[in-house]
Structure 1
Amino acid sequence: MTSVKRGYTDSRHGQLHYRIVQPDAPTGAPPLLCLHQTPSHSGDWLPVLPTLGATRTVVAVDTPGYGMSDPPPAPTTIEEYAAIIADFITELAAQGLVPAGPFDVLGFHTGSLLATQLARSLPDRVRRLVVFGLAAYPADVRAAKLEQLPTLFPPPDATLAHVEKLWAIIGQLSDPRVSAEQRHISMAECLRLGARMTWGYIAVYRYDFLGAMAEVQQPVLIINPEDDLWAVTRDVSHHYPNGRRVDMPGVKHGVLHLEHDRVVAEIEGFLA
Structure 2
Amino acid sequence: MTAKLRRAYADLPHGQVHYAACGDPHAPAVLLLHQSPRSWAEYRAVLPLLGARYRAIAMDTAGFGDSDPPPSAASIESWAAVAAQLLDALDIARAHVVGHHTGGVIAVELAARHASRVRSLVLSSTPYTDEAFRRARAERPPIDAVPDSDDGSHLAALWRKRQAFYPAARPELLQAFVLDALKVQDVEGGHRAVASYRMEERIASVTQPTLVLRAARDPFAAGHAAQWLQLLPQARMADIPEGMVPLPDQLPDEFARTVLEFLDAQP
TM-score (norm 2): 0.88
Partner of 1:261: 253
State the Cα distance separating 1:148 from its structure 2 match. Answer: 4.0
Bigger shift: residues 143-152 or 203-212: 143-152
8 Å contact from structure 1 (residues 149, 198) kept in 2? no
Equivalence map 1:85-234=2 (5 Å)? 85-93=83-91, 100-146=92-138, 148=140, 150=142, 153-158=145-150, 160=152, 162-177=154-169, 179-194=170-185, 196-226=186-216, 227-228=218-219, 229-234=221-226
8 Å contact from structure 2 (residues 19, 57) kept in 1? yes
8 Å contact from structure 1 (residues 79, 117) kept in 2? yes
CA 1:246–1:181: 2 relative to 1, 3 Å: closer
Pair 1:36 & 2:27 matched: no
Partner of 1:78: 76
Aligned-residue identity in percent: 30
State the Cα distance separating 1:138 from its structure 2 match. Answer: 3.0
8 Å contact from structure 1 (residues 34, 105) kept in 2? yes
TM-superposition CA deviations, 1:57-79 (whole Å, max 9, x none): 11111001100011236642211
Partner of 1:65: 63
TM-superposition CA deviations, 1:16-55 (whole Å, max 9, x none): 00001122x84xx421111000000001111110111111
Partner of 2:43: 45
Count of matched residue pairs? 261
Partner of 1:96: none
TM-superposition CA deviations, 1:126-184 (whole Å, max 9, x none): 1101110122143243144246455862343547564343211221111225x223312
Partner of 1:13: 14
Bigger shift: residues 103-112 or 158-167: 158-167
8 Å contact from structure 2 (residues 32, 59) kept in 1? yes
- Equivalent-residue separation in structure 1 for 2:257 and 2:120 (angstroms): 16
**RMSD after superposition:** 2.3
CA 1:180–1:260: 2 relative to 1, 3 Å: closer
- Equivalent-residue separation in structure 1 for 2:143 and 2:117 (angstroms): 40
- Equivalent-residue separation in structure 1 for 2:98 and 2:139 (angstroms): 29
8 Å contact from structure 1 (residues 75, 199) kept in 2? no
TM-score (norm 1): 0.86
Gaps of 5+ in 2: none
- Equivalent-residue separation in structure 1 for 2:109 and 2:228 (angstroms): 16
Bigger shift: residues 119-128 or 235-244: 235-244
- Equivalent-residue separation in structure 1 for 2:173 and 2:254 (angstroms): 22
8 Å contact from structure 2 (residues 158, 178) kept in 1? yes
